[in-house]
Amino acid sequence: MSQDALHPLVRRLLTERAYAYVEAAEDAAALDARDHLLLLPAHGKAHLESPDIAVVLPELVKALGGEAQIGGAVAGPKAEAAFREALNLALPAIVVLRAGVPLGAISRMRDWDEYLDRLGALMDAPSTATH
């Protein structure tokens, strides 16, 4: 599946925000040194929550420390499948990555405060966490 098949609001993260596109899970290690919020957009399914999460994701990056500290990324189908299986996730989801390693994730659209609390807790956890 190409990036063109993504919902326009998800694709906009790549084109307008210059978020990284992670083809395969092992490619996450090549991301820069910041922590990253990786969107798993539910490839192959027109999931109603994916566009909503795509709109909220840049605001979460800003609220959790800004682009100087946190990067955004979008998973390709192979990366999405690998992270979904490894973390036993429902899609769509946001995975918190540190040095390409998942610290944990949050599935589905959530309330703003729940996103901040749960994602912030994952980012504050030691690198060996596997929530």
- Helices 8-15 and 49-63 sit at what angle, rounded to 10 degrees? 30
pTM over the 0.85 mark:
yes
**3-class DSSP state of 34:** coil
**Can you tell me the mean pLDDT for 28-56?**
90
Quick one: which of 103, 3, 20 has its CA closest to 57? 20
Separation between Cα atoms, residue 131 and residue 129, nearest integer Å: 6
Q: Which fold has domain 3-124?
A: Glutaredoxin (3.40.30)
Contact call for residues 90 and 98 (beta carbons, < 8 A): no
Question: pLDDT tens across 63-122, in order?
Answer: 999 999 999 999 999 999 999 999 999 999 999 999 999 999 999 999 999 999 999 999
pLDDT at 48 exceeding the cut of 90: no
What amino acid occupies position 113? D
**3-class DSSP state of 30:** helix
Confidence at 128, pLDDT banded by 50, 70, 90: low
